[in-house]
Amino acid sequence: MKKSPATVISEKKCGKWCRFFLTGTLLMLWSCAALYAQTESSRQQKITATYKNNTITEVLEDLKTKTGYTFVHKQHEIDGNIKITEHFTGTTLDDILQSVLVRHGYDYSIESRVIVIRRQVKQTEVKRKEVHGTVRDDHGELLPGVTVRLKNTTMGTATDNDGKYTLTFPDGEYTLVFSMVGMQECEERIGMRTEIDVVMQQVAAEMDEVVVTGIFKKARESYTGAVSTIGKEEILAYRGQNMLQTLRNIDPAFNVVQNNEFGSDPNRLPDITVRGSSSLTTNLKELNEGTKNDLNVPLIIMDDFEISLTKLMDYNEEEIESINILKDAAATAIYGSRGANGVVVIVSKKPQAGKLRVFAQAGMTLEIPDLTSYDLMNARDKLSLEWAAGLYHHETNPERDIVLKEAYYKRLKAVEEGVETDWLSQPLHVGVGQNYNLRFEGGSEEFRWSASLGYKDIQGAMIGSGRKTFSGGVTLSYSYKNLTFRNQTSIGSNKSEESPYGSFSDYARQQPYNAPWTDDGKLNRYFDGWDAWETQVQNPLYDATLGNIDKSGYVEIINNFSVEWKMTPELTLRGKFGISHTNNTSDMYKSPESSEFKDYTGDQVLRKGRYVYTTGKANTYEGNVTLSYAKVFGEVHSLYAGLDASIAQNDSYSYGFTMEGFTNDRPFIGNALNYAENDMPSASEYTTRRLGLVGNINYVYDNRYYVDLSLRTDGSSQFGSDKRFGTFWSAGLGWNVHNEHFWGENPYLNTLRLRLSYGETGSQKFSAYQALPMFKYYDDDRYAYWGGAYLMGLGNEDLKWQVTAQYNLGMEFSVLNNRVKGSLDVYSKLTNNLLSAMDIPLATGFSSYMENIGKVKNTGFEMSVSGYIIRDTERKMSLMVSGKLAYNKNEITKLSDDLKRQTEEMLMDDVDVNTLYYEGRSQNSIYAVRSLGIDPSSGKEIFLDKDGEPTFEWKPSAKVYMGVSDPLYQGNAGVMFSYKGMTLNLSFGFHWGGKQYNSTLLDKVEVTPSTIKTGNVDNRVWSDRWMQEGDEVYFKGISNEKTRMTSRFVMPDNVFSLQSASVQYDLNTPYLQKWGIQNMRFSLNMSDLFYLSSVKRERGTSYPFARNVGLNISLLF
């Protein structure tokens, strides 16, 4: 698996791009400010109007049209008999209202853009009382526009821009009712109080009313697609090391494949799948050598534009409003050729109108190494094992036997003197990181703005490894009449470093009786060889003291601009254009003093030291135009139609070289003597272009029955000239059973929605020039100063789109007055026209070329349920439990001849671990030779050959299917408890139904004497071993016979873990408000606190796993 891309932009180019975007942002800010100044205050607007025998109500409607203000008054309070006859020329709104309202016995007040009208009441008529206060949401943010009224009366008011209200009413016993769209209605008994402050809770159902797909906004009530919606509160509650881990903690359908080799390495980009893998690699050798397979990564869209998986991993979670994971064809067909792997749609926070608000957050993170899976021998036991294995005896060479005994007693003396080196702890520490976020926002209803800065520093569990990310952005939004302009500019910079201590496995193999330092505190560069006759062993800690570096970084600048025109109440036109530029570099330097070069002699000495440098840049240009229409006819017919046209280009260029021959530790390329042996600079480039046209129609009848249709045509430069365009579509039906007349008003059965859909989508995650015949210049030969070229591979003008057809049947429900909610989706995905290599006669000069051959099928289901055990709004206490379960079965139904040939070649290789592809089996199947166990009479393992006959001979051709490494079932179980300002969240993860090959048993338990001689082993090496004839045991005896991959080491993989735990406490007191602090939040997040598995093996072999702890404090001013 490769590292996530990384970069560093040159100072000159960085300055150029920064000036470009800064100039653009300032120009837009100036333009918006100039336009805003023209309409800053409608109250000062000069109005010309003529009224003749018009009622007050008619006058107010006319003023509403001219000014945009909304008028609020009690029903029937405006006297319809009063007629207004008057002419106004260049008159302000206040002057008109004085003439129309005040002269006729009415008062008015202007709060935000709402004008509240009341009858004038003489103070002597009745004794009156006044109450005032402030209304906030559950984050402490002020809420303007909240309706505040007296219960069972028509008297009320609304909160102003500062969330404040004042209400005067006749003296008596009343209760205040606070209501606002999207918030839970709450009540407060007035009693003797004159000041009442209220905190309103958001209604969870309201958050789910609209599904943001990245192209169209769809009403969930009539949406036929399968989608998982994640709100900002969930993201913060289940926060992990990065955004990918956070999504894993929330939804098991977002499958982050656990990498047992690289553990919690913060710089490793994991494999991600949604509803299984739909594509196959075309090169099994590369896959077995660990080359990362990106074919099944979902499409990621942020604010309507595509971003990389690395960008999502590094993204600042404080800037995210919501995330939608689109899963089936009905949801992803609008993305056509890019939707087969699922789509992750991120919506960032938008600026809020009102006075200046400041959000500040600071936090600390801890990466605590988790070594609970390691059970290595201590120094005394290891030495005893070596003696028992006969490693210090030599029966045929007395002289060598004496030397071996001397080595043994020297080590025994060290053990007796207390040498007990904990090698696992040597390259590790508790990584202490930090993160900071600062956000400013404000503006009016017309012009809004926000600016944010973020910094995140992850210090890994291995010393020296880490990932630092800086992010910043400016968002400007301006509305003028029916037009809305928005511009988002963001910049992200990342620097990552790998640990100079190398691979963690080197330390797990070290002998515990070897002391890394001398008695006077100096580092031992070498340890004694096995005896005086063998060479010394390098101390792995020595390389960490040299000037070795392994670092990388990137700088990415993104600018997205959009304009929306509300042509009519039903018709909207929106245009968007985005551009991004990324620069990346990586530097890896090995000192000439490194252990890698210790055996270089003669002319090789001039090749000591190595510097590998890579740099590149990428640009993306993307634009689209969307036209949408929405209208309700005759109260029962609802129609939505959308049309979107898009065009995009991606280009990338990179080059690199390797230098050798350094005379000192200074990592400077200019000090190198030459290029690496048999190597020279290399470069690569690609350019892809695509365009698409998509239409969507959604029809709803009486909010009961609905149909959703999508059709998209895509064109791409990645496919053959004769198959450059492809068509993708989906159709969905839905039934809101709860809106049927026979359902009635049932408080116990609240919602039941059924969905059925079918569609076809595609994938573009392939080589840019796979359909073209490619030529390459000879770089090592010339003829009379002329260069030649040769054909690298055959093209295929008929190469066409890979198509995934998917069925989905879904159900959503809520019962017991919405206390319990759940969903169930059953799906089947079949990918046709898989891009694979096809064998051709060698007489052509090539062994294969790209063709559409192969099929892969995924079937499964996803279900979720959540329910409130306690929901007490008066005491502000709730307890909710939730569970999610996902099942997926992967099957290869058709393979190309080339992949079949590669599989047979891999099968015959005399190696232990292979990825093999067979029709009827999963992509991630495990193959091993069947074992009957250990023969009690000889201590040897008994195998079954391919014909099922017992044998003592292990043959690779006898490998058979043993199971699938992917678990069939994956799920989460969550608990959320809140009381007043405190919230506790727990997320447990589990999976079962898969198999794992326990390599620890092979490498550290059932080992040969030579393995015992070269490094430490697992404590289980002593247990259940064959010692003498008649022993019926699980493991072979200690012998020189190599242990091979057999079914004995393939084990059921069942896991239960505490993925995430968090505690949050919100503090909102009058004392804080005096200092201008609206809300203060303390939060503690912990990840991977425990991990229970049916497979006892070492976890994190090259980089250990770690427990993540984060402590944060945030303030809202």
| pLDDT 10s digits, 49-62 | 888 888 888 888 88
Share of the chain above pLDDT 90, in %: 35
pLDDT of res. 20:
43
Residue with tokens 């007043």: 980
Of 1048 and 15, more confident: 1048
pLDDT of res. 1105:
94
- Average the pLDDT over 541-570 and give the result: 92
Lowest-confidence pick of 161-175, 421-435, 556-570: 161-175
- Average the pLDDT over 818-831 and give the result: 92
Q: How many CA atoms lie within 13 A of 587 on its CB side?
A: 15
Phi, psi (deg, nearest 5) at residue 303: 50, 45
CATH of the domain at 108: 3.55.50.30
CB atoms closer than 10 angstroms to residue 920 = 11
- Average the pLDDT over 944-949 and give the result: 89
Please state, rounded to an integer, the average pLDDT across all residues of the chain: 83
Residue range 184-208, pLDDT digits in tens: 778 888 888 888 988 887 664 444 5
* Cα separation, 546 vs 600, whole angstroms: 18
Is pLDDT at 42 greater than 80 in this prediction? Answer: no
pTM here? 0.77
Residues of 728-744 as b/e, b for ≥16 C-beta within 10 angstroms?
bbbbbebebbbeeeeee
Residue range 657-696, pLDDT digits in tens: 999 999 888 888 888 888 888 888 888 888 888 899 999 9
- Are the C-beta atoms of 797 and 771 separated by less than 8 Å? yes
pLDDT of res. 32:
41
CB atoms closer than 10 angstroms to residue 128 = 11
Of 702 and 906, more confident: 702
Residue range 167-189, pLDDT digits in tens: 888 878 888 888 875 677 788 88
- Are the C-beta atoms of 92 and 46 separated by less than 8 Å? yes
* Cα separation, 723 vs 712, whole angstroms: 15
In this structure, is residue 473 part of a structural domain?
no
- Average the pLDDT over 935-958 and give the result: 89
pLDDT of res. 205:
42
pLDDT of res. 773:
64
> CB burial class (10 A; 0-12, 13-18, 19+) of residue 909?
exposed
- Average the pLDDT over 328-347 and give the result: 89
How far CA 924 is from CA of 288, 892, 975, 997, in Å, comes to 12, 10, 33, 12
Q: Which residue range(s) make up the domain with 100? A: 43-120
In this structure, is residue 604 part of a structural domain?
no
Of 181 and 538, more confident: 538
Is pLDDT at 382 greater than 80 in this prediction? Answer: yes
Tokens linked to 815: 């019962």
- Average the pLDDT over 829-840 and give the result: 70
pLDDT of res. 111:
67
Local confidence band at 160 (pLDDT 50, 70, 90 cut-offs): confident
Is pLDDT at 851 greater than 80 in this prediction? Answer: no
Local confidence band at 845 (pLDDT 50, 70, 90 cut-offs): low
Residue range 722-740, pLDDT digits in tens: 677 889 999 999 999 988 8
Local confidence band at 862 (pLDDT 50, 70, 90 cut-offs): very high
pLDDT of res. 844:
46
CB atoms closer than 10 angstroms to residue 873 = 12
- Average the pLDDT over 279-285 and give the result: 63
In this structure, is residue 1102 part of a structural domain?
no
Is pLDDT at 699 greater than 60 in this prediction? Answer: yes
pLDDT of res. 17:
42
CA dihedral (737, 742, 743, 744) in degrees, to 10, reads: 140
Lowest-confidence pick of 231-240, 473-482, 586-595: 231-240
Local confidence band at 35 (pLDDT 50, 70, 90 cut-offs): very low
CB atoms closer than 10 angstroms to residue 752 = 17
Tokens linked to 930: 């069947």
Residue range 1068-1107, pLDDT digits in tens: 777 777 788 888 889 999 998 889 999 999 999 999 999 9
CB atoms closer than 10 angstroms to residue 1065 = 14
Tokens linked to 681: 């600079």
Share of the chain above pLDDT 70, in %: 87
Is pLDDT at 827 greater than 70 in this prediction? Answer: yes
Of 219 and 860, more confident: 860
Residue range 486-508, pLDDT digits in tens: 999 999 999 999 999 999 999 99
In this structure, is residue 927 part of a structural domain?
no
In this structure, is residue 110 part of a structural domain?
yes
Q: HEC string of 77-90?
A: CCCCCCEEEEEEEE
Number of domain units in the chain: 1
